[in-house]
Amino acid sequence: MSTKELLIIILLMSGTVLPSSLIRAQGQTTLSEALKDCFLIGTAVNEQQIIDKDTLGAQLINRQFNAIVAENCMKSQSLHPEENRYDFGLSDRFVEFGEKNGQTIIGHTLIWHSQLPKWFCTDEEGNNISPDILKKRMKEHITTVVKRYKGRVKGWDVVNEAIEDDGSFRKSKFYEILGEEYIPLAFQYAHEADPEAELYYNDYSMALPGKRAGVVKLVKELKRRGLRIDAVGMQSHFSMNWPSVEEFEKSIIAFAEAGVKVMITELDMTVLPAPKHNIGAEVSASFEYQRSMNPYPKGLPEKIAMAWNKRMESFFALFLKHKEIISRVNLWGATDKDSWRNNWPIKGRTDYPLLFDRNYQPKAVVDFIIQKAQE
């Protein structure tokens, strides 16, 4: 009998009520064990878990996942709120969290138009800064952040969400000032700061043909210039009717054919009604709360839970089919209560998008994944 099992028996005999996820975990294969020869299985980690306020959440993450991504604390607004001030408090703890647990640590994200502090691209009057100043600021930011975690963070989402659904470049501040050049520059600066680090391009709605083509073109251009790019990150914020497994698979194949690995980076699947068809994961989208848009505040009807599990199974079957190409599958949160989906694009709803429920319990699909991985 292991020490852990002995401890559980003692606790049970003393009348302590244990969370059932802990009991279940003993002797049961975990996701990270089952998938160890397939791909990394990761999750986004939030502040409560990093600082161990959500102890059960932190335990679940350490048991089930072998890769972690900071959900928010490595974004430029958090790390670098003022030009001459960095705040590494939480991101240092995040990296220590992963190291303590022997997890692969992924950095998210170096250059993103959102959660970007005002000072980065504009002057005190709010005007765009010059191309030269922006290059200097990008280089300084990327170099400082990447060097700080050199040899500890395995790979970085270097640029996030730079391509529109039709394949054109997003007209972000970076694009307004530097044009498309800002993307290769970001990859160059990141590589110079840590030549060993893997470098990724990350985006949402990747099953759309326009987006797929735009990203393929970008990857080929970076490669043509001799720059390092290891993988494309497909965020994978799904709903019950989008995307189709077939269209998603076309993108996995197209990215692999462009010469990179594929990572499923922010997987979740909402069951809630959408105020508008396919809004991807545009963080700025926001709609007013209506009771009818929050149909399951007290629990998910069995029929819908079953349909959700079935659909999630078909995506995991697809990921396993392409395990030679896919190097990481990363959930965007550990349990349903952690998900950003509860508050986007409508605040205050109750969603059920992740692999573990609000009581830290695995959903049916978890057993499916474990069995399928071992076949």
Residues tagged active-site? 161, 266
DSSP letters for 249-276: HHHHHHHHHTT-EEEEEEEEE--SPPSS
Q: Which of residues 297-336 bind ligand 9MR (CB under 6 A)?
A: none
- 178-209 burial code (b ≥16 CB/10 A, e <16): beeebbbbbbbbbbebbeebbbbbbbbbbbbe
Q: How many residues bind ligand 9MR (CB under 6 A)?
A: 10
CB nearer ligand 9MR, residue 28 or residue 72:
72
Q: What single-letter DSSP state applies at residue 180?
A: G
Q: What single-letter DSSP state applies at residue 208?
A: S
The identity of residue 181, as a single letter, is E
Q: What single-letter DSSP state applies at residue 293?
A: G
Q: Which of residues 39-98 bind ligand 9MR (CB under 6 A)?
A: 71-72, 75
- CA-to-CA distance for 124 and 108, rounded, in angstroms? 27
Question: Is-contact 362 356, C-beta < 8 A?
Answer: yes
CB nearer ligand 9MR, residue 142 or residue 267:
267
Q: What single-letter DSSP state applies at residue 179?
A: G
266, 267, 270, 350: residue in contact with ligand 9MR (rule CB under 6 A) = 266
For the four alpha carbons of 215, 216, 220 and 221, in that order, the dihedral sign comes to negative
CB of 293 to ligand 9MR, least distance (A): 18
The identity of residue 104, as a single letter, is T
For residue 158, which phi and psi values (nearest 5 degrees)?
Answer: -75, -50
CB of 332 to ligand 9MR, least distance (A): 6
- Residue 115 sits in the site that holds ligand 9MR (CB under 6 A): yes
Q: Among all chains, which residue has been given the structure tokens 């170096």?
A: 110
Tokens of 199: 């470098």
Question: Is-contact 118 130, C-beta < 8 A?
Answer: no
Listed in sequence order, the DSSP H helices in the chain are 3-13, 20-25, 31-34, 47-50, 55-64, 76-79, 89-100, 131-148, 173-178, 182-193, 209-224, 245-257, 302-321, 364-374
- CA-to-CA distance for 218 and 176, rounded, in angstroms? 18
CB nearer ligand 9MR, residue 25 or residue 97:
97
Of the candidates 214, 194, 206, the one whose C-alpha atom is nearest the C-alpha of residue 249 is 206
3-class secondary structure, 108:
strand
CB of 328 to ligand 9MR, least distance (A): 15
22, 256, 283, 304: residue in contact with ligand 9MR (rule CB under 6 A) = 283
Other C-beta atoms closer than 10 Å to the C-beta of 286 total 12
The identity of residue 8, as a single letter, is I
CB of 373 to ligand 9MR, least distance (A): 26
CB nearer ligand 9MR, residue 157 or residue 194:
157
CB nearer ligand 9MR, residue 115 or residue 294:
115
CB of 244 to ligand 9MR, least distance (A): 21
CB of 237 to ligand 9MR, least distance (A): 7
Q: Which residue's C-beta sits nearest to ligand 9MR?
A: 340
Up-side HSE of residue 2: CA atoms within 13 Å toward CB? 5
66, 188, 235, 236: residue in contact with ligand 9MR (rule CB under 6 A) = 235
CB nearer ligand 9MR, residue 266 or residue 351:
266
Q: Which of residues 117-176 bind ligand 9MR (CB under 6 A)?
A: 160
CB nearer ligand 9MR, residue 254 or residue 331:
331
CB of 342 to ligand 9MR, least distance (A): 10
CB of 283 to ligand 9MR, least distance (A): 4
Could you list the residues that contact ligand 9MR (CB under 6 A)? 71-72, 75, 115, 160, 235, 266, 281, 283, 340
